[in-house]
Chains A and B, each alone.
Chain A
Amino acid sequence: MAIKTLLNSMIPSELLEPNWRLLSFIVLLISGIGVLMLYPMSEFHGYVDPFYAPTVLVVPIAGLFRLTCYAYRKDYHRHVFNHPNACGINIRGDSMTRDYSGETKFFRVENLHRYFLYAGILILPFFYYDFYISLIYSGSFVLRLGSLLLLLNAVALTLWAASCHALRHLIGGRTDCYGCAFAGSQRKSLFNWQSILNGHHEFFAWFSLLTIIFVDLYLRGLAAGMPIDLNLSKLL
């Protein structure tokens, strides 16, 4: 009985329902991670795989940063848990009897997003360092298509982190009076700029996820012998 009470206080109702979307998604995730472990690839000809920047050990931090991201939270609560519905009409007919549990029980982890953001910001410079390494890999400066893709990935991740809601709160969201705060006008200005980025947070979140996967597949394609790595230095 005690164990049942403990589990009820920890596990949200969303995770206990016979929801085939959630269960199949978990199967996809576990088998996808299994395939990544079956075929590890950390580096190829000076290109460091984004999953290994700086080390594969930081992937859980990046994963938790994504899992607790406001953009993804909207998507998985609506489309995987169907809870709350995105509109008043209950299309799938399975969630009208439930209450919205929100950030309770296990989903309290969503409140830790700001700390995953701080950890994520610490990881960001390594993506630019990998871009630099890819340029000088051969001993002299060589610009290859893969280097540009690494840069694109780094910029996409930077924009995603820079448009984060937790960063918005950190910059100016927790201040009631800019005129009374230290460097208030500068903070207000920064807050306004960040708010513009924040409006596109969902786009940056999905775009950065797709660029990571694309760059990983690109490097695997190179390792498989595909002739897709253009040497742009020769074209310039």
Chain B
Amino acid sequence: MKQYIPPKYRYPLFFIGLMTMIITAIAYKFVFIPEVIIEVVVIVGFVLFVSSFTF
């Protein structure tokens, strides 16, 4: 299967994706941010995380 993302970018994407979701979860608890923005940022983090080992 052809892999589109070079190996050296996989772990950075994995890290940034997970960290984005974690930081957003912490921000949701302690900082007032509209729920729509929280959802969009979590989805972006999830897409980065999944793409790090999928594509």
On A, residues with C-beta under 8 Å from B are 21, 24-25, 27-28, 31-32, 34-35, 38-39
Contact = CB atoms under 8 A, between A and B. Distances in A.
B25 A39 contact: yes
Contacts of B11: 21
B26 A31 contact: yes
Interface string B34-53: 00000000000000000000
Nearest to A39: B25
A32 B15 CA distance: 12
Contact of A34 (B15, B19, B26): B26
B9 to A, nearest CB: 13
A28 B29 contact: no
A154 to B, nearest CB: 26
B22 A35 contact: yes
Nearest to B7: A91
Contacts of A35: 22, 25-26
Contacts, number: 24
B26 A28 contact: no
A35 B19 CA distance: 11
Interface residues on B, range: under 10
Contacts of B29: 38-39
Q: B interface, by DSSP: helix, strand, loop or mixed? A: helix
A38 B19 contact: no
A119 B45 CA distance: 36
A28 B18 contact: yes
Nearest to B15: A24
A25 B11 CA distance: 10
A24 B34 CA distance: 29
21 contacts: A21-B11, A24-B15, A25-B15, A27-B19, A28-B15, A28-B18, A28-B19, A28-B22, A31-B19, A31-B22, A31-B23, A31-B26, A32-B22, A34-B22, A34-B26, A35-B22, A35-B25, A35-B26, A38-B25, A39-B25, A39-B29
Among all A-B residue pairs, the 7 with the closest Cβ atoms? A31-B22, A35-B25, A24-B15, A35-B22, A38-B29, A28-B18, A32-B22
A25 B26 CA distance: 18
Nearest to B30: A38
A110 to B, nearest CB: 23
B26 A32 contact: no
Contacts of A21: 11
